[in-house]
Chains A and B, each alone.
Chain A
Amino acid sequence: MFVKPFRYVRAASLAEAAHGLREADGGARVLAGGQSLLPMMNLGLLDLDAVIDVSHVDEARGVAEDDGYLRIGALTRHREVQADPLVTSRQPLLASAAGRVGSSRIRARGTLGGSLAHSDPAAELPLAMIALGATYEVTDGTATRTVRADEFHVSYFTTDLAPDELLAEVRVPTLGPGWGWGFQEVSRRPGDFAIVAAAALVRLADGEIVESRLALGGVSERALRLGAVESSVTGARAGQLEERIGPIEGLDPVTDTSATADHRRHLARVLSVRALADASRRAEEAA
């Protein structure tokens, strides 16, 4: 671990951090929990002049409910998201996804905004956000704009953030009445990034799916919503999912040391069926 020296800059506010990013002109990154950034630095994957530490900033923390949404500060830590009573009761899919991130050490320091801005295509939280239809509040210290999760996550470790912007807040729709959720993942060890993961929401009427949302992670350059699969399961009962869902189109999985592309395609279908089945079961229990 011979890291090229970089400057450590501690910001007192998100606006100060944005200012620091502008001054560094592309040579700096934001350090929130640092649980992805510092491994990348240690592995020599990034060459930075400075890191701007926002972990001592007071703003952008905590969870609040606001008319059908949870508003979660970007600096809220995974462990807080995982255990927050509003998250566990109003959007349990998100609590489940946060609980799958890394080890308890990583969840104690890593932040929601940090994971989303890192945008690993196999990470659980961007997948959850795309499945849930979340939006992000992004700030450059003076102006704030709103970005949809499925537009924010562009590609491998690439987001819609401008070089001087930071994530400030995440807005997650709460689980509506009659809806159930499912989250399925295959990874080599607990806490590893997913090989493939699936997040699903389902609303039932008379035991049949009338509305659903399904997204997959680990099968493309970013987590994907699968509208065609959603359409194909409309009207299905939980027991019919297996026959309704064929091979999933539009994926672009890679072969790496964890799995072949074909194995990822296989998992994509299997986990979609299971996540939708879990969501149907929970919707039934909620009815």
Chain B
Amino acid sequence: MNDERFGVSTTLVVNGRPVTRSAGGHVTLLRWLRDEADVLDPKYGCGEGVCGACTVLVDGEPASACIVLAAQCEGAAITTAAGLLGDDGEPSPLQRAFHEHHAAQCGFCTPGMLMCAQAMLADGTTRSRDEIREELHGNLCRCTGYQHIVDAIEDAQGAGR
């Protein structure tokens, strides 16, 4: 068993780039990304897995990074909102749809919203507005009233993006 107290060496492939950091076994994936790896797009909101601001993809699956330990994810591919950018640094079609539909106001929930939406697009299902809302119910936004976020996701999936 691996049971080092302070300093579990963990390697994660963050947005395509392998990153190795040593941190306590109690360190969550969110703290590991933000404090150890300087990946700042996932946000700390509630710490309980209910607000969705820290949503990232772990091997393609959406997860609340605040309630997953970094050490649990050893070797996994982690995708954050920054990882959606194209190789040329241009926004992805989903990010562009968020921009076009003005689907952000203060922006704090946006990285999590994008990852939740990305997971929806990735499974290939075309969802109704109600189904999009159903999938989004674990991501809280206190500014927009969600309308524009649903518009953006509907547009992104409708365009076959």
A residues lining the B interface (CB < 8 Å): 1, 3-12, 16, 20, 31, 34-35, 38-39, 41-43, 50-51, 53, 55, 102-106, 108-109, 189-191
CA distance A98 to B128 in the complex (A): 22
Summarize B's interface: helix, strand, loop or mixed: mixed
**B2, A10: Cβ atoms closer than 8 Å:** yes
CB-CB nearest in chain A for B64: A105
> How many angstroms between the C-alpha atoms of A1 and B69 in the bound complex?
13
Interface string of B45-65 (1 = CB under 8 A from A): 001111010010000011110
How far is the CB of B100 from the nearest CB of chain A, in Å?
26
Are B137 and A103 in touch, CB under 8 angstroms? yes
CA–CA, A10 and B8, complex, Å:
11
Asked if B69 and A43 make an inter-chain contact with CB atoms under 8 angstroms apart, the answer reads: no
Contacts of B68 in A (CB 8 A): 34, 38, 109
For chain B, residues 1 to 18, give those with C-beta under 8 angstroms from any C-beta of chain A.
Answer: 1-6, 8
Chain B residues near A (Cβ < 8 Å): 1-6, 8, 24-26, 28, 31, 44, 47-50, 52, 55, 61-64, 66-69, 71-72, 116, 119, 134-135, 137-138
Asked whether, in the complex, the Cβ of B137 is within 8 Å of the Cβ of A16, the reply is no
Partner pick for A190 among B2, B6, B26, B134, CB 8 A cutoff: B134
User: Nearest-CB distance from B144 to chain A (Å)?
Assistant: 17
Cα A12 to Cα B31 in complex, Å, equals: 26
Q: What's the Cα separation between A38 and B64 when bound, in Å?
A: 11
CA distance A34 to B73 in the complex (A): 12
- Number of residue pairs spanning A and B whose beta carbons lie under 8 angstroms apart: 108
Chain B's nearest CB lies how many Å from the CB of A286? 27
Task: Identify 5 new A-B residue pairs, CB closer than 8 A, beyond the known A1-B66, A8-B24, A53-B71.
Answer: A16-B1, A31-B69, A42-B47, A105-B62, A109-B68
CA distance A191 to B139 in the complex (A): 12
Shortest B110–chain A CB gap in Å is: 17
CA distance A102 to B69 in the complex (A): 19
Q: Which of B3, B63, B137 contacts A108 (CB 8 A)?
A: B63
Which A residues are in CB contact (< 8 Å) with B31?
1
B66 contacts A42, CB within 8 Å?
A: yes
Tell whether, in the assembled complex, residue A34 and residue B72 are in contact, meaning their CB atoms are under 8 Å apart: yes
Q: How far is the CA of A233 from the CA of B127 in the complex (A)?
A: 41
B6, B24, B63: the one within 8 Å of A109 (CB): B63
Smallest distance from the beta carbon of B119 to chain A beta carbons, Å? 8
Q: When the two chains form their complex, are residues A7 and B72 in contact, meaning their CB atoms are under 8 A apart?
A: no
- Taken together as a complex, chains A and B put the C-alpha atoms of A9 and B26 apart, in Å, by 10
